[in-house]
Amino acid sequence: ANEAKQAAQTFDTKAIQKLDSAHYLHPFTDFKDLNEKGARVMVKGDGIYLWDSEGKKVLDGMSGLWCVNVGYGRSSISEAVYQQMEVLPFYNSFFNTTNVPAVQLAAKLVEISPPQFNHVFFTGSGSEGNDTNLRMVRRYWDLLGYTDRHVIISRHNAYHGSTVAGASLGGMGGMHAQGGLPIPGIEHIGQPNYFEAGRGKTEAEFGIEAASWLEQKILEVGPEKVAAFIGEPVQGAGGVIIPPATYWPEIQRICDKYGILLIADEVICGFGRLGTWFGSELMGIKPDLMTFAKGVTSGYIPLGGVMVGDRVANVLIEKGGDFNHGFTYSGHPVACAAALENIRILQDEKIVEKVATETGPYLKQQFATLATHPLVGFADSCGLVAGLNLVKEKAELVHNCVLFDAEQNVGMICRGYMFGNGMIMRAVGDRMIIAPPLCISVQQIDEMIGLIRSCLDKTLADLQGRGWV
């Protein structure tokens, strides 16, 4: 830690911020606003911690961006990447060519994924994975002669990426408002958000109701036109929306009833986040396609892709003809080498099992204690993702909580205290969310919960000062 601090202190923060403002346009950012404030400069990571250029240590409650599953500073991944770069830094997988790490990773992914998956299509990111899904499911139906069967149903507030197809499949209003999205052929239904929409129902009843919106939409569009349904097992960027246990099995039943392909976007839930290798396993569903990215390499090198189930793969393979889709970096040997070593770590250290039996249940127990805080109206977790809703007035029944006005931006105020006090927690409206590295220990969970509680206290004092509570 001392070493990290020393290294961090050699950076000239002001100079970096100045260059940053002058030349670097950041993703999902108000450029003008950032230029006025100056970006925080991260310079080093180790385990679940990060250091910024001022030498300040922070607990990374978001695993970078839901991706650093094995934690920072794994030199065996750097070593695997270095070795592969020395031997063969790049070759493509076009023109009937392949490379060894890509083949080995494909086989490994088949081994660790549910039995219906025997093939993989590699991309460079989750967004490209979902673009692949869109084109692949349409190609599947075309090959079977159902050329009208092109509509994909998704959910409001879903996040499926930022490419044109990814953002269209996603249900983010702010993204659709820019650039003429969504593209045609994509429909959205409501999300299974019990806190927001479950009034008057048990969670179980609400799960069935939220799934029934899929059937309504299928009937509205016409079952003969619907190609697929896509959803994240637990919605991440939308605010860690953990569906009632009844939701996904009912979605599966409806997809089966109409013969519709089921796509699980596992970009966040894959590689152990929920205590199973893939979130679908926990939710009890059998998707035809699964998007992955992030945790496949723990973010050390960009890599994504789609696990393609037998139902789809068999048609694509047996019918023949080119699938006119792919990327320069599909099956990138260095990225695949990083993924192989990352998966080895997850397996050898039994990290997924630990999330299921130790750290996940412990987080659930500890996170629930935050629900007693005067600002917290609702708190829930699943494996190592969790979220809590900040409310103006608590109530016994969560649907009776009094919410803050959206314009008050209470979530951002709270996030400011978190960042300022060494804890990275994200705000989605007034819902505060975490997804810590899967290597977090129970002692570190205690440290994290302590930090969150003290920042909630600071937020409460601030809001009291403003007369908002």
Site for ligand PMP in 206-235 (CB under 6 A): 232
Residue number with the shortest CB distance to ligand PMP? Answer: 126
What is the Rg, in whole angstroms, of the alpha carbon atoms belonging to the chain? 22
Q: Binding ligand PMP by CB under 6 A: which of 80, 268, 337, 355?
A: 268
Q: Could you give phi then psi for residue 56, rounded to 5 degrees?
A: -80, 130
64 closest CA partner among 324, 340, 299, 331: 299
Q: Confirm or reject binding of residue 327 to ligand PMP (CB under 6 A).
A: no
Q: Compare residues 59 and 267 and give the one whose CB is closer to ligand PMP.
A: 267
The site map against ligand PMP for 165-194 (x = CB under 6 A) is ------------------------------
Backbone angles phi, psi at 161, to 5 degrees: 120, 180
Q: Which is nearer to ligand PMP, 26 or 37 (CB)?
A: 26
Task: Tell me the closest approach of the beta carbon of residue 172 to ligand PMP, in angstroms.
Answer: 11
Closest to 47 in 3D by CA, of 389, 460, 438: 438
Q: Which of 138, 160, 354, 373 binds ligand PMP (CB under 6 A)?
A: 160
Phi-psi region of 65 (alpha: psi -120 to 50; beta: other; left: phi over 0): beta
Residue of the chain from 64, 198, 236, 299 that contacts ligand PMP (CB under 6 A): 236
- Using left for φ > 0, alpha for ψ between -120 and 50, and beta otherwise, residue 299 falls in left
By the rule CB under 6 A, 382 interacts with ligand PMP:
no
Answer yes or no whether residue 159 interacts with ligand PMP by CB under 6 A: yes
CA angle centred on 95, ends 91 and 100, rounded to 5°: 40
Residues 119-138, interacting with ligand PMP (CB under 6 A): 125-127, 130
Tokens 């804890």: give the residue: 423
What's the CA gap between 18 and 51, in Å, rounded? 20
Please check whether residue 308 is in contact with residue 117, taking contact to mean a CB–CB distance below 8 angstroms.
Answer: yes
Q: Which of 131, 215, 250, 265 binds ligand PMP (CB under 6 A)?
A: 265
- Least distance CB 158 / ligand PMP (angstroms): 8
CA atoms within 13 A on the CB side of 418: 23
> Which part of the chain contacts ligand PMP (CB under 6 A), choosing from 97-105, 154-162, 341-349, 435-443?
154-162
Which residues are near ligand PMP by CB under 6 A? 125-127, 130, 159-161, 232, 236-237, 265, 267-268, 293, 304
